[in-house]
Structure 1
Amino acid sequence: MLLDPDSSALAQRASEIGESADSLANGVRLTEARLRELSGTCDIQVYRYGMLPTWRVIRTDSIMFVGAFDAGWEGHESATYKVMETPHGPLYRGFRRMTEAIISSAERTV
């Protein structure tokens, strides 16, 4: 999931990290284009969402890597935690549910 480059949330996020909205939007579009190139060689799905990001979630099958977005730093500067699916693990289930809810109202672009 990528932040919609045309959303008001992107402009707010750009302001939080001291970047211009145009620069951040172009970075999102470039990322989307590079991921589109991968779609010919692997199963990948890319979605655009329009809400202010809180969590940075990278999901691969039953493992997620989770970090946080906050004003003043980019998501990749946040500590990242490996969250695995376990029989009674609430974190994995919570992040999975949140991700699925965002996808249900997002626009698939790849």
Structure 2
Amino acid sequence: METYERVAEGLGMPDEARMMFGLAPQHPAGLDHLGPVGRAEIIQTFPSQSTAAQDIRTAARHVTAIDVLAVRGLGILGLNDSLLRPELIGDPDVPRTLRVLLLSPEGQAAARRAEEINETPESFSAGIQLAEARLRELGTIAPSLTVEVYRYNIFPVWRLITLDEIQYVSAFGQKWEGHESAVYKIAPTPQGALHRGFRRLFEQTRLTAQRII
């Protein structure tokens, strides 16, 4: 049995094969992260935010908690026709919590990001401040919506929209904005690392950020 155990370990046998040799499974029933249910965190992909927009808006109608990690967030919440703003205003009687992390307009990370996308630091920072003002308005337009807005200072890499437990993840590239990136729809699974990692990223960024609203 010790020999079988070493062989199974060396070959990385799945639990089904281990049990055929009389060996105990390595993962408890229902938590097999090697199986398709356990590893299928990415349940859908979209070429860009525009192609994911309808899916995101539909999901946003039925949630009570929304978390956003963005740079300026204008295309998500700051404009009248942005991705989520109409959904939040459209049903004002539903109690919801909105937490938004935006890049600090005064930090070096903002100046560096502005340079990457060929904008002046002044116009780039003004866009962030506009989004903050619009989010402040949102709290008065939708009285049942609890709005929290934070400024973070680390260089932006990931763009996150979390609707209850479903995450929509994209990235900020050197030559493109977050809304131009591919979008990955991620759901929690028993042993999934992606969902846990992005949730942890959001919470750790929030803890080190400055709350302004």
The answer to whether the aligner puts 1:63 opposite 2:169 as a matched pair is no
Coordinate RMSD, CA, aligned:
1.1
Q: Does 1:51 align with 2:154?
A: yes
CA distance in 1, matches of 2:158, 2:168: 10
The Cα of 1:89 is off from its aligned counterpart by 2.0
Note closer, same or farther for the CA distance 1:89–1:44 as it changes in structure 2 (3 Å cut).
farther
- In the TM superposition, structure 1's runs of 4+ consecutive aligned residues that sit over 3 Å from their partners are none
**Residue of structure 2 in register with 1:107 after alignment:** 210
Give the one of 21, 28, 32 matched to 2:121. 21
Change (3 A) 1:91 1:76: same
| 1:37-93 alpha-carbon deviations (Å, 9 max, x no partner) | 112321222110011100011122212111001211111111111112222221111
Residue of structure 2 aligned with 1:97, choices 200, 204, 209: 200
Give the direction of change, closer, same or farther, for the CA distance of 1:20–1:52 in structure 2 (3 Å limit): same
Cα distance in structure 2, aligned partners of 1:100 and 1:48: 13
Aligned residues: 110
Q: Distance in 2 between matches of 1:38 and 1:19?
A: 27
Give 2:179's aligned residue.
Answer: 76
Please give the TM-score of this superposition, normalised by the length of structure 1: 0.93
- Tell me which residue corresponds to 1:5: 105
Larger Rg: 2
* Stretch deviating more after TM superposition (51-60 or 10-19): 51-60
Work out the CA distance in 2 between the residues paired with 1:106 and 1:94.
18
Letter in 2 for 1:8: Q
Letter in 2 for 1:66: V
One-letter identity of the residue aligned with 1:65: Y
Letter in 1 for 2:128: V
Alignment-derived partner of residue 88 in structure 1: 191
